[in-house]
Amino acid sequence: MSTTRIRMAPLGDSGSEKPAHRDGNVLRWLSAYTASMVGDSIYFVALSWAATRSGSPAQAGLVLAVGSLPRAALMLGGGVIADRFGPRRVVIGSDAVRCAVILAVAVLLLVTTPGIWLLIPVALVFGAVDALFLPSVGALPARITTPGQLGRVQGMRGFAQRVATVAAAPLGGLAVAVGGPAAGFGAAGLLFAGSLVLLMAVRVRQLAPDEEARSGGSAGHQLVDGLAYIRGHRVLAPLLLVAGVMELGFSGPANIGVVLLADQRGWGAAGMAWIIGGFGVGAGAAALLLAVRGRVARAGAVQAWGVVVGSVALGAIAFAPSVALAAVAGLCVGLCTGLGGALIAALLQTVTDPAYLGRVTSVATLFTVGVAPVSYPVVGAAIGVWGAGPVFAVSAAVSAAGGVLGLCSRALRRAELPS
């Protein structure tokens, strides 16, 4: 199956390519995406606090876990719907539902005491709507800018993610501290409302007739067709394999593993914060680099080597003799895997036929929200039995294997971003 490049028609009156950082259409999408990410984080802070206050620790854990089930189960279907009805229409509809549900919960919490009976349905609905929102918002970049700007857009997106991560936790904590869970849900709902307004102002390119035909048919046929498209694509298949294997090895140590390592070494919360901060700074710097440059030569090879080197640095964290060296290793992890991840996203947008972007994005997102979290309890239990060193080493080897698989694919090694 051919590696179809995106055929982008101009969105404005001029045929010249407008830099993404000066394109109001891209900036509206980016602002909406950032507002949505901050709203997501504040929602989870408010949900966590409300669940903790209204039930036992086990019930609180159930509330937080239950939302991930429909998100993972329905993600592939969300990609089909995005391609069938268009990502702009689906992302606006799903964002409107999220906004209405969360604001309704905020009002309800003002007049009643939160209970598990309320929080579990909210988590289920939010997870189900996320399964529509995430593939759609991820499929939009190729419809709102030209192929030559997709690398810069992914760099801008990655930098926005880091800014949102830094800003969301204190904002969510402040909202809950001032007004309780109702204020937290209210703040998240207002951010979703702002995101919705911005998304409604985003203009998208319509599919050509031949592309439109590839997004038709029954839902089951579309899903099978999308998976077959991925499997037969010379670049996309190995690219998604790299992403999936890397995420499987990386996510456990980078999340629960660092926490347990800091506790075992006696580094405490401050040590954990330094290592995680290293991740964030490195990833932010890599995203900013791509946003400024817009293009990296030999992107296919660079992303694979970034995964390999970043994985080695991840394993080195567990053997660092001090917090300072562990934080430096974390910085290297963020730089290398951050650049690799941004290039994976940019290549995905570039090589995928626009008619399949929703389905391809849903598969890529499923690795993060569905498959990768399975490693958390496994990594936690393994560290408890064997210690952090061996577990980090094995996990790093799994993650690095993803990059090696990418290097073994000649088509992926030679893949380039459009100039």
Is 326 part of a structural domain of the chain? yes
C-alpha dihedral (176, 72, 69, 55), degrees to nearest 10: -20
Tell me the per-residue pLDDT of 236-266, one tens digit each, with 9 for 90 and over. 999 999 999 999 999 889 888 998 999 889 9
Is 316 part of a structural domain of the chain? yes
How many Cα atoms occupy the beta-carbon half-sphere of 53 within 13 Å?
A: 15
- What is the domain count for the chain? 2
Tell me the per-residue pLDDT of 307-325, one tens digit each, with 9 for 90 and over. 999 999 999 999 999 999 9
pLDDT of residue 215: 61
224 and 133 in one domain?
no
As given in the structure block, the two tokens for residue 328 are 């430096």
181 and 124 in one domain?
yes
As given in the structure block, the two tokens for residue 304 are 């694979």
CATH of the domain at 271: 1.20.1250
Backbone angles phi, psi at 40, to 5 degrees: -55, -50
pLDDT of residue 168: 80
Q: Any idea what the Cα angle at residue 311 is, between residues 292 and 333, rounded to 5°?
A: 45
SS (H, E, C) 70-92: HHHHHHHHHHHHHHHHCHHHHHH
pLDDT of residue 7: 42
264 and 124 in one domain?
no
Containing domain of residue 326, as a range?
Answer: 219-413
229 and 196 in one domain?
no
Is 290 part of a structural domain of the chain? yes
Of 174, 206, 238, which marks where a domain is finished? 206
SS (H, E, C) 10-61: CCCCCCCCCCHHHCHHHHHHHHHHHHHHHHHHHHHHHHHHHHHHHCCHHHHH
- Give, in order, the Cα–Cα distances in Å from 64 to each of 375, 381, 404: 17, 20, 35
Of 155, 173, 206, which marks where a domain is finished? 206
Is 280 part of a structural domain of the chain? yes
CATH of the domain at 179: 1.20.1250.20
225 and 179 in one domain?
no
333 and 273 in one domain?
yes
Nearest CA to 338 among 158, 161, 163, 160? 158
362 and 253 in one domain?
yes
174 and 229 in one domain?
no
Is the backbone of residue 208 left (phi > 0), alpha (psi -120 to 50) or beta?
A: beta
87 and 62 in one domain?
yes
Is 213 part of a structural domain of the chain? no
Task: Determine the Cα–Cα distance for residues 340 and 337; give it in Å rounded to an integer.
Answer: 5
pLDDT of residue 212: 57
Is 255 part of a structural domain of the chain? yes
Of 152, 178, 206, which marks where a domain is finished? 206
pTM of the model: 0.86
Is 4 part of a structural domain of the chain? no
320 and 199 in one domain?
no
144 and 46 in one domain?
yes
Nearest CA to 362 among 84, 99, 148, 34? 84
pLDDT of residue 56: 66
pLDDT of residue 5: 40
Is 214 part of a structural domain of the chain? no
The whole-number mean pLDDT for each consecutive block of 10 residues of the chain, a chain of 419 residues, reads 40 60 92 93 86 72 79 91 92 95 92 79 92 90 88 90 81 86 93 95 76 66 92 95 93 88 89 89 91 89 96 96 95 94 92 92 85 79 92 96 96 91
312 touches 331 (CB < 8 A): no
> Exposed (0-12), middle (13-18) or buried (19+): which is 271, by Cβ within 10 Å?
buried
384 touches 97 (CB < 8 A): no
pLDDT of residue 1: 39
pLDDT of residue 100: 95
224 and 198 in one domain?
no
Nearest CA to 130 among 65, 74, 172? 74
Tell me the per-residue pLDDT of 92-101, one tens digit each, with 9 for 90 and over. 999 999 999 9
